[in-house]
A and B are shown apart, each in its own frame.
Chain A
């Protein structure tokens, strides 16, 4: 069993829809990261969370430490949001452990 599980693996939605991507982890963590990767490989760090909720523009990330679960929400989705979204957990100095990613396609 992977330490970090993401769902769904693939998601296709229509422009304007509310998107939710989930991440569950099985170990104690110091922080959780949400990353975005576009074709070509570059990774952008969206959020780093250790508790509660963060919001940046149309993106919202939440984490429940007790339930070992985090969600990434996209409101009013747009085709430019199409990318792979990756959840990663950090455990002190152990480096990042990554989920397999969620391939999101937003159709116009």
Chain B
């Protein structure tokens, strides 16, 4: 059974650019959530999607957005990148919210 797949694994972008990260959940999982991990702030919740609908959003600026497709794959987008957006971005999938999560290996984004 394939796990949660995040692409790309590593990414280097320049300030002001935008970036799109992808997350493919475990087959059959309808919930995908995204998290940012930095040395200073630790892990923080970005947003969660369930059956193509955003259920909740963390305390991040509007530059951070996401979507979920009908096959449950999800993308997150960060526009107008700032140096502080450098982080490990993790996604997790769940069969249903509240039933536990399986995490991907993450995308490490470096903004220069």
A41 to B42, Cβ gap below 8 A?
no
The segment out of B64-72, B73-81, B96-104 that lies at the interface is B96-104
Closest residue of chain B to A101 (Cβ to Cβ) is B42
- Binary contact track B57-96/A, C-beta < 8 Å → 1, others 0: 0100000000000000000000000000000101010000
Instruction: Report A99 CB to chain B, min CB distance, Å.
Output: 8
- Binary contact track A18-31/B, C-beta < 8 Å → 1, others 0: 00000000000011
Q: Which residues of A sit under 8 angstroms from B92, Cβ to Cβ?
A: 43
Number of residues in B with C-beta < 8 Å to the partner?
25
Main secondary structure of the interface of A (DSSP, over half): strand
A96 with B105, Cβ < 8 A, contacts A31-B98, A48-B100 known: no
Number of residues in A with C-beta < 8 Å to the partner?
23
Q: Choose one: B44, B56, B98; the contact of A98 (CB below 8 Å).
A: B44
B98 to A96, Cβ gap below 8 A?
no
Q: Choose one: A41, A43, A45, A96; the contact of B45 (CB below 8 Å).
A: A96
Beyond the given pairs A45-B103, A93-B56, A96-B45, 13 more chain A to chain B contacts, judged by CB atoms under 8 angstroms and listed by A's residue number, are A31-B98, A33-B100, A41-B37, A41-B90, A42-B105, A43-B106, A45-B102, A48-B100, A93-B97, A94-B56, A95-B45, A95-B47, A99-B42
Q: Interface on A for B, CB 8 Å cutoff? A: 30-31, 33, 35, 40-45, 48, 86, 88, 90, 93-101
